[in-house]
A and B are shown apart, each in its own frame.
Chain A
Amino acid sequence: MPQECGEPVFREPWEAQAFAMALALHARGLFTWPEWAATLSDEIKRAQAAGDPDTGETYYRHWLNALERLVAEKGVASAETLTRYQEAWDHAADRTPHGAPIELRPDDFK
């Protein structure tokens, strides 16, 4: 079976981080598996409707969309908060020499 071998579990580290965050939040009781499955399948449907080929390659993008949505719906972090942190991380990356670990500092927030 060709699909038995050589198949990466995660293609990029961010996929693994997104996967682990969902498991950790579920373990903490932030959402149930039925809630998770409903949100994830809705994100997959949306992506398909928007032209995503849904071949499994983009799976963790849908996964992260579902995660961000549930985190907002549960009142943990709004989309605005997440955007503010994304911009801060972008700023941190800009000022970090290539190859050095990127770390977030308070002055990365505008």
Chain B
Amino acid sequence: MATHEHDHDHDHDHGSELSEMQLRVRALETVLTEKGYVDPAALDAIVETYETKIGPRNGARVVAKAWTDPAFKQALLDDASKAIGTLGRVGDHLIAVENTPQQHNIVVCTLCSCYPWEMLGLPPVWYKAAPYRSRAVKDPRGVLADLGVTLPKETGIRVWDSTAETRFLVLPMRPAGTEGWSEEQLAAIVTRDSMIGTGLPQAQP
């Protein structure tokens, strides 16, 4: 037992420790709860929803539907929030941008990390990191190459900078070899990264 090596404060030997961040979060939550601004049970529900229920699958289903239903695709490109609303889903302040042989789209938030949470779940760590946020604008082709995505020279790259009021969902190109696939099969190959524009969906045999 190494307990007595920490004898600078005898209380701590038998007590518990909370980190600075834990203390700050608990303090804030207690104050907000006492003042009626938050309900701890509702906070747990939010966390559970984002950890388990909302994820890139919501966006993937939207993309798969757009690939198989031309009218829905047009509606999505015209007004993404409205089109997604017709599926009974929420996608606030959302604009869908379509990849074509002429133009590939890539999404970034240079200021912080605005992100279409309802469609893609929570952003990956690299999306929130400074290297991606700054480099995606200056050198999108280099960023894509680092991620293993090589585009034909003739394909232009457009970078969309998200804000609190506008978020973007990339509509990737449907890969060859997926003719006759069901929406479910298609949704399964739509990756999160392909909807950020940093990946491409691959048809797997």
Contact = CB atoms under 8 A, between A and B. Distances in A.
Interface of A: 1, 3-4, 7, 9-10, 12, 14, 16-21, 23-25, 28, 30, 32-34, 36-38, 40-41, 44, 48, 53-57, 59, 61, 64, 67-68, 71, 76-77, 81-83, 85-86, 88-90, 93-100, 102, 104
A14 B199 contact: no
Interface in B130-156: 130-131, 147-148
B113 interface: yes
Interface residues of B, number: 55
B188 interface: no
Nearest to A7: B124
Secondary structure of the B side of the interface? helix
Interface of B: 11-12, 14-19, 21-32, 35, 37-39, 42-44, 46-47, 50-51, 93, 111-114, 121-122, 124-131, 147-148, 163-165, 191-193, 199
Given A16-B51, A55-B125, A86-B27, 6 more contacts: A10-B122, A16-B50, A19-B46, A55-B129, A64-B28, A96-B15
